[in-house]
Amino acid sequence: MITRAEPDGRKLAGRLEALGAEPVLVPGIRVEFADPGALDAAIHELPRYHWVIFTSRNAVEAVFRRTGTLAGPRVAAIGPATAAELRKHGVEPDLVAPKHVAEGVLETLGTVKGLRVLLPQSDIARRALVLGLREQGALVDDVVVYHTHAERSERPDLSGVDAVTFTSSSTVRGFLEAGPVPPGAAVVCIGPVTAQTARENGLTVTEVAGEYSEDGLVAALIAVLGKQATSPLSPRERGPGGEE
């Protein structure tokens, strides 16, 4: 069962179908882009920023709905999926955190004291990155560019589901607002932040991806379900890391 929002959910479903799985899409969240006023103002002042930091693909899409360029500041991405989305818009990120969580970005940026940082993100994004940057002396403009809402559409029959995947804390909370995890289903999380949220909401986490990305999630599912399929990741590619 896939709980991430569309169209990412269908993308993951296609990968799992190719491996012989039967994906069931039950989005726990939906994304709505925010009023662009604050973002437009920040883009107008783009040359005064030293860094723009993206923590999700949705943030990239939101920004490029309002501009065709990010000329001026350096650009950081929290992980490979976000970096790939930037490249679709012709932007090669100057930094991709080796650990694909907020703490990984903080560890990799280096000295930020006195630097201006634009951080476009969700209304419910973790505060770890904003607070960490400010503690280190950065001047941060935290701009909400999209809203994440729980998805309350009617669920299909979930009997017989072998595993449920969660790709963010919001997918955990959104899914559980509409009902419980199917009995007997393994709970597989994309990374430690998501896993911690699952545990805080009373779930027993079966597996956490070794690489906190879609590739890592697929590999974790293969390991949990014992599928005799070829993983898209070789062992050496399953290193630490992961997106929020």
Separation CA 144–CA 127 (nearest Å)? 12
Pick the CATH number of 33-146 from 3.40.50.720, 3.30.420.40, 3.30.70.20, 3.40.50.10090: 3.40.50.10090
- The pLDDT value recorded for residue 227 is 45
Name the fold adopted by 8-28+151-233: Rossmann fold (3.40.50)
Separation CA 201–CA 203 (nearest Å)? 6
What is the per-residue pLDDT across 181-212, written as a single tens digit (0 to 9) for each?
999 999 999 999 999 999 999 999 999 998 88
Backbone angles phi, psi at 6, to 5 degrees: -75, 150
Separation CA 53–CA 113 (nearest Å)? 16
Question: Taking the domains of the chain in order of start, what are their residue ranges?
Answer: 8-28+151-233, 33-146
For the chain, residues with pLDDT lower than 70 are 227-244
What is the per-residue pLDDT across 43-83, written as a single tens digit (0 to 9) for each?
999 999 999 999 999 999 999 999 999 999 999 999 888 99
β-pairing verdict for 51-54 and 163-166? unpaired
Whether 8-28+151-233 and 33-146 share one fold: the answer is yes
